[in-house]
Amino acid sequence: MTAINRRRALSGTAAIAVGVPVLAACSDDSAASDAAGSETSEPSPEPTSDGTETQSGGGEALASAADVPVGGCLVVAGAKVVVTQPTEGDFKAFSAVCTHQGCLVETSSDGEIPCPCHASRFSLEDGSPTSGPATAALAAVEITVDGDSILRA
């Protein structure tokens, strides 16, 4: 057998120390999560923005209708969703992640959805950009209104 000198051993160790995190960052975590998951295929209840779980058959509770200003929007940061009420009783929801550089938009009552990072603004009606550097619309999110509760569909 050939003896390995100290320099070669340290070089190999350094290569492994650098390579493992790089490979881990490139891997798909869903396969590991699936293997470690439970035997049933039913999804577990999702937590809501206030930390409680939803009832079976319903979507994630996003907000109370009373909390969304008419002509404005409410950001549910934990769900990364912005809920709008362009006109009384008409609720819509979009991704709260700005399409320009990924900042979260802000809650507002001034008729548009504002992004604080680079001054992009989006329509309450359809999430399309109305001004600023963003050129793509916010992605629509399906919601339902059940009484005073706004739920992810």
> For the segment 116-137, what is each residue's pLDDT rounded down to a tens digit?
999 999 999 999 999 999 999 9
For 35, the token pair is 């293997």
User: Which backbone phi and psi does 2 adopt, to 5 degrees?
Assistant: -95, 140
Q: What does pTM read for this prediction? A: 0.63
What span, in angstroms and rounded, lies between the C-alpha atoms of 73 and 80?
Answer: 13
If you search the block for the tokens 């604080």, which residue do you land on?
Answer: 116
Place 15 in a pLDDT band, splitting at 50, 70 and 90: low
Q: DSSP label at 66? A: G
Q: DSSP label at 52? A: P
Plot region of 54 (φ>0 → left; ψ -120 to 50 → alpha; else → beta)? beta
Q: Which fold has domain 61-152?
A: Rieske Iron-sulfur Protein (2.102.10)
What span, in angstroms and rounded, lies between the C-alpha atoms of 83 and 85?
Answer: 7
User: Which backbone phi and psi does 50 adopt, to 5 degrees?
Assistant: -100, 10
